[in-house]
A and B are shown apart, each in its own frame.
Chain A
Amino acid sequence: MSEDQTPQPTPEASAPSDSGPSLLHGCPVSETLGQPTVHTDRGRYLALMEALYRDGFESCMGVSGVDYLTHPGRDIPEGVAAERFEVVVELVSFSRRERLRVRCQVPADDPVVPSLFDLWPGSEAHERETFDMFGVRFTDHPDLTRILMPEDWEGHPLRKDYATGQVPVQFKEAPK
């Protein structure tokens, strides 16, 4: 955590080989509508984020999740296997006026990813929201509790198998 804050130039994305997409810190990069996006699986996630932090992405604008349960055939570059959940991180470098999106694949049977709290403390609330809405757990998060839903709520509302309009309103501890 004591690294010098001065931004260093991003290591050049290695030249695209004929066979696969270009790589950034060993993770494939794609470009969607002019926005570079790094794809990773959770094994490489924390190392990638640490490298990006050292590259001068000072600010983490947000962490959110997507549940791809009913949209499995999305476009993911080679080298990363598509999973049900994705954790999407928006990074900004103020000094270089640059943005980068990181999409991390999270399997459905064990939705656990490392927390970014030690790199960007501002990710704390966003990760709590992602946990609350998708049930993705963040290891080493200081306070992984629900943030928007009530404490005793069952289920994670933004999952695609959580249907709308089927759950009666839960008033807790109200006298029956």
Chain B
Amino acid sequence: MTTPSLVDLLKAKTSEGAQELLARERTSVKELRAEVGGVLRLPEGVTLDRDDINYEAPDDETMILNLGPSHPSTHGVLRVMVEIRGEQVLRTKPVIGYLHTGMEKTGEELMYQQGATNVTRMDYLSPFFNELAYCLSVEKLAGVEVPPRAQWIRMLMCELNRISSHLLWLATNGADLGALNMLVYGWRDRELVLAFFEKVTGLRMNHNYIRPGGVAADLPDGWRDDVLAICDTVVKRMDEYDNLLTGQPLLQNRMDGVGALDSETAVGLGLTGPLLRSTGVAYDVRRDFPYLFYEQVDFDVIVGTAGDCWDRFAIRANEIRESVRILRQVAKAMPAGDYRAQDKKFTPPPRNRIDESMEALIHHFKLFTEGFRVAPGDAYVPVESPRGELGCYVVSDGTSRPYRLHVRAPSFANLQALAPMVRGGFIPDVIACISSIDPVLGDVDR
């Protein structure tokens, strides 16, 4: 075997075959319809013919262009293939899978209490939500009662995480559209929240903090002051960003009316989160299918009307304020008590008990060698992640490992909105639309 020369390496093709956007003559009418965003529900009797889609686009005037997979504006390794005529986008197809690491298969190999370590790495900008979705499903299968304090802690961490995720989105969205100063400010403020995460969980990201049965550790002393300080700072800064971004005509022109979706298309495509709410459909899992104690806190579901990038910007900015509102209520309502279920078969004993008690040692040993068994069945508990509905479909066969772990990833479903959003727009609008979908490629590819 000889070492390939640099020239050979550069010549190596990286084709994904039929997964790519193909020339029109090699594409079926139905596929073309999907690629131009034609998920439009046509009235009965109207047929879609090739010429209908092929609006004034002879093949020699169009060009198929790759955006990505390695470009900052694709937020990871998203590859978008667009067919353009001049600057106008005719067809679009996202090609994904570059970050696929087989986490669902890995999840089948790990014991239930190890699983949170795995799923937390999927959507790396909102790790708590992954852990929460996984743990809620496992707890439902196992029938474990989680103490109230653990549930309030979960709410606290999740809402902080929503703030950090949306702040990062404000930063990257600003950067994508040319407001580069926002990039610095967004990352700076996110760091406030991540510093608190580090204090509580020991890590800035990929926490493995929410575990089946409760959370890994109690909140540290002084957490309430930290949370309230974060709330005050974020609210103050959001007012500054309103001055910086919302009142900025250059930015508004880049987003206003760009990538508009109607509610029927959005519902048909199975979109969730800010993308769906921007079209006026008030669907929020926290309100419609409440989990934890979201029934006991007061918050508004922010909806838009136009369904364009500008609406999605406004929704995310205001969701930060709603999260602050929830956080203040959580800080007030946090009860005393256990931070994880006191079920010796389910959560490990405290470290110092192992030195004193034979029974604790046995429980510890059994738990970390065999794990805990859950009853056969299947469960899916959705949560509202910053990107939409996230849920783990867990199938149990009665052993200590999930038989099947499927993650309904919001970014994966939301990415289907790209084609209808950018049809007829310009290349810079594609960037604005990708940004406003807010895909996290770890979540898309898993």
Contact = CB atoms under 8 A, between A and B. Distances in A.
Interface of A: 1-2, 5, 32-33, 35, 58-62, 64, 66-67, 70-71, 74-75, 88, 90, 94, 97, 99, 101, 117, 120-126, 129, 133, 140, 142-143, 145-152, 157-158, 164, 173-176
Given A1-B42, A151-B16, 4 more contacts: A1-B44, A66-B406, A122-B416, A126-B270
B34 A124 contact: yes
Given A75-B377, A94-B283, A124-B416, A145 B18 contact: yes
Interface of B: 1, 4, 8-9, 12-19, 28, 30-31, 33-34, 39, 41-44, 96-97, 100, 102, 104-106, 109, 140-141, 264, 267-272, 281, 283, 288-289, 376-380, 382, 389, 391, 393, 395, 397, 403-404, 406, 408, 412-413, 415-416, 445-446
Contacts of A142: 28, 30-31, 33-34
Nearest to A103: B378
A145 B415 contact: no
A149 B100 contact: yes
Given A99-B289, A142-B28, A142-B34, A61 B270 contact: yes
Contact of B4 (A125, A143, A147, A175): A175
Nearest to A151: B17
Contacts of A71: 395, 397, 403
A67 B403 CA distance: 9
B302 to A, nearest CB: 16
Contacts of A123: 270
Contacts of A90: 380, 391, 393, 408
A70 B39 CA distance: 38
Contacts of B416: 121-122, 124-125
A94 B266 CA distance: 13
A123 to B, nearest CB: 7
Contacts, number: 150
Nearest to A122: B270
Contacts of B377: 32-33, 75
A143 B12 contact: no
Contact of A173 (B13, B28, B44, B106): B13
9 contacts: A1-B42, A2-B43, A59-B270, A66-B395, A71-B403, A88-B406, A117-B34, A145-B17, A173-B14
A146 to B, nearest CB: 6
Contacts of B28: 142-143
A110 B88 CA distance: 44
B391 to A, nearest CB: 8
A66 B397 CA distance: 12
B413 A125 contact: yes
B380 A147 contact: no
B45 to A, nearest CB: 9
A67 B397 CA distance: 12
B107 to A, nearest CB: 10
Nearest to B281: A94
Given A33-B379, A142-B34, A164-B105, A88 B393 contact: yes
A37 to B, nearest CB: 8
A158 B105 CA distance: 6
Contacts of A157: 102, 105
Contact of A148 (B43, B96, B267, B395): B96
Nearest to A72: B397
- Name, among A32, A33, A122, the residue most crowded by chain B CB atoms within 10 Å (CB to CB): A122
Given A33-B379, A66-B395, A157-B105, A121 B269 contact: yes
B234 to A, nearest CB: 30
Given A64-B406, A94-B288, A175-B8, A148 B100 contact: yes
B19 A146 contact: yes
A126 B34 CA distance: 14
A67 B267 CA distance: 29
B379 A32 contact: yes
A150 B408 contact: no
A103 B51 CA distance: 39
A75 B378 CA distance: 10
Contacts of B268: 58-59, 120-122
Contacts of B15: 151, 173
A2 B104 contact: no
